[in-house]
Amino acid sequence: MDWETWRFAFGVTVPNLLLLLLGVILRRLRLLDDPFCDGATRLVFHLALPCLLFFSIATNHTSLMENLPLALYGAAGTLLVYFLLELAAPLLIKNPRERGIFVQGGFRANTAIVGLAYASMAYGNEGVAVGSLFMAATVILFNVLSVITLTHSLSGGRQTPPGSGAILRGIVTNPLIIGLVAGLAWNATGIPLPQPVVKTGGFISGMALPLAMLCAGASLDWRMMFRATNTAIYAAVARVLVVPALLTLGGALFGFRGAALGVMFLFSATPTAAASYVMTRAMGGNATLAANIIAMTTVGSFFTTAIGLFVLRSTGVI
Q: How many residues does the chain have?
A: 318
> For the whole model, what pTM was predicted?
0.79
Q: Among candidates 100, 97, 116, 96, which has minimal Cα distance to 108? A: 100
- DSSP letter at 64 equals G
Q: What pLDDT is attached to residue 160?
A: 47
Residue type, 181: V
Residue type, 262: G
- Contact, 93 vs 223, CB < 8 A? no
Q: What pLDDT is attached to residue 228?
A: 56
Residue 88 burial by Cβ neighbours in a 10 Å radius (0-12, 13-18, 19+): middle
Q: What pairs with residue 272 in β-bridges?
A: 109
- DSSP letter at 30 equals T
3-state DSSP percent of the chain in helix, strand and coil, to 5:
80, 0, 20
Longest dimension (CA), the chain: 53
Q: What pLDDT is attached to residue 81?
A: 97
Report d(CA 184, CA 70) in Å as an integer.
Answer: 17
Q: What is the residue-level pLDDT of the chain in tens, covering all 318 positions?
A: 567 777 777 777 788 778 888 998 999 999 998 899 889 988 988 898 889 888 888 887 666 667 789 999 999 999 999 999 999 999 999 999 999 999 999 999 988 778 877 887 788 767 877 887 788 789 889 988 998 999 889 875 554 445 567 667 777 888 878 888 898 889 888 899 999 999 999 999 888 878 888 888 887 766 666 655 789 999 999 999 999 999 999 999 999 998 899 999 999 999 998 889 888 988 889 988 998 899 899 888 888 988 898 888 888 888
Q: What pairs with residue 109 in β-bridges?
A: 272
